[in-house]
Structure 1
Amino acid sequence: MNRDETLELFSDIISRIIHDYNNIMGAIEGYATLIASEIEKREAIDDAQEIIKVASKSSDIRSKLALFYRKNVSGKISINLNEIIEKISFDYKSKMNINLELSKDIPKINAKVDEIELMAREFFENTKIHSNLEKPDVNIKTYLRGQDLCFEFSDNGKGIKTEIIDKIFFPFFTTIENNTRDGLGLSWIWGVARRHNAEVLAESVLGKYSKFTVRFKL
């Protein structure tokens, strides 16, 4: 079983778990809200509101996981990939040395704008988190390769160890101790790619560079 087949199986399992989890947490949150509205003791109200707060946090995690396992997305329109890359790159230009090599001859793709923006942003965030440089170098390319439209993102960060490169797209996988993020960024990228008939390839040399290529099928 290759990496993408394993991720497909993993996403199916997560979607089934989350379905049951939604029902359970929805009931907990609903009854806690009902209790808070009916009781009079301040301490009991505070306890009920704490349950509601925790249930709300779990809802946030469920929403984030949905970006990984969800298979379909509505609201796709014809977009220019270069324009999205330029827009997101602008937000990071003060933090990174960004070089854009965007082909002017690429066709538009049918995609959901906010998901493609999320994909681009997560590549930048991944570089920001893992780079040991004050201002890392980032090179972004778009080009046609056969029947695929390619979006290539590379940086000169620490690189990825060979033994873990096939694990990086799994939810919650991280190599950073005491990480304040949730380890979902690259899994989001994989999920977005899948919903847009694309694949994500990772390549790296430890201590030199990391490169991700998203290949959209035309």
Structure 2
Amino acid sequence: MSGNVVEDANNQPTDGAVILVGSRSHFVANRLILRGNAAAYAINVLGDDDVSNDTELANCLIVDNHTRHELVGVRRSGPTILSMDGCTLAHNTIDNGYVLYRNGISGLFLTDSIIDMPGVQTVDGGASAHYVLSNDTSTLRATANLVVQGEPSFVNVAVGDYHLLPSSLGVDFAPAAGGTDLDRLPRDVDLPQVPNFYGPRDIGAYERQSAFLCDNNRDAIFCDGFEAM
């Protein structure tokens, strides 16, 4: 979902979201891309539910958006859980607030994810985090060293390529868990050149398939190892 603008008939911004999850609704998305949108929120979960209707995001890429408030928020009056697994949030502009928000009755769980938003705190309300790389870790709850403060290195942000470089933080970071990434390529590819942090799994939306830069370029004709690493 890209290029959406949330505004009224007079071209004035409203409090709307690119994706609104209302009362007695739940939202489950795998391989979701939100790119280049302008709204009050990218995803807003709200309503007066008295039963749990959870929101689950997996293998998601949320980049290059402009929001007036947080990118993703949960503000329901009933118990709700927002879980994000294998997601990359980067290079977004937020006018006011945090990257993520949850109210007191909601739960927020982050796993195997990257939040690259320098100068913006990660969560308003706190979150449980496992195997997460973020610029701000002060608002994340984790045991041991499962959360690392730092910035990833992407292949080419200028052209919207958010695959990780072979040398990036986040490569071979987490324990193996199976499945495929945003490109539908296998997870848990262990790069012998990269020491495992906790395991072979890359965090974020994409898994590197080799240490060669051409490996994630679908236009590459040759990938013989002579490319720069």
The two structures have a TM-score, normalised by structure 2, of 0.24
Higher relative contact order (CA 8 A, sep 6+): 1
Higher strand share: 2
The two structures have a TM-score, normalised by structure 1, of 0.25
Higher helix share: 1
Report which of the two structures shows the higher radius of gyration computed on alpha carbons.
1
